[in-house]
């Protein structure tokens, strides 16, 4: 299941920041409207558009059947590049 999640297209996904080296981004949540190589662009409930860096950030993805933690360091790539790449397990983020 890990490979399926990492290869997924996150546009329209509901995410929240669980932990990050960038303290001002912790507890931000919203819907992904754009994804670049190093960031997610998220729209919040207050209609604010924020850029959240992927590096050194742990995201929580919300699904109908539960939530999944996603390490931003594992998805630092363009969305299209991730679909055909084989992934190796990386160590967790050091804070």
pLDDT one-digit tens code per residue, 72-95: 988 887 777 766 656 555 555 555
Q: Which two tokens stand for residue 50?
A: 């924020």
DSSP letter string over 43-93? E-TTS-EEEEE-TTEEEEEEETTEEEEEEGGGG-S-HHHHTT------PPP
pTM over 0.85: no
Residue ranges covered by each domain of the chain: 2-82
pLDDT tens per residue, range 11-59:
999 999 999 999 999 999 999 999 999 999 999 999 999 999 999 999 9
- The domain made up of 2-82 has a fold known as SH3 type barrels. (2.30.30)
**Calpha distance 6→8 (Å, rounded):** 6
Owner of token pair 């994804």: 35
């Amino acid at each position: 299941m890990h490979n399926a999640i990492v290869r997924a297209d996150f546009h329209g996904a509901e995410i929240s920041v669980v932990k990050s080296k960038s303290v001002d981004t912790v507890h931000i949540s919203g819907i992904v409207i754009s994804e670049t190589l190093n960031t997610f662009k998220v729209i919040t409930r207050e209609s604010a558009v924020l850029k959240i860096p992927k590096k050194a950030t742990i995201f929580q993805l919300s699904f109908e059947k539960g939530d999944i933690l996603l390490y931003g360091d594992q998805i630092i790539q363009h969305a299209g590049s991730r679909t055909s790449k084989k992934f190796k397990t990386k160590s967790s983020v050091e804070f």
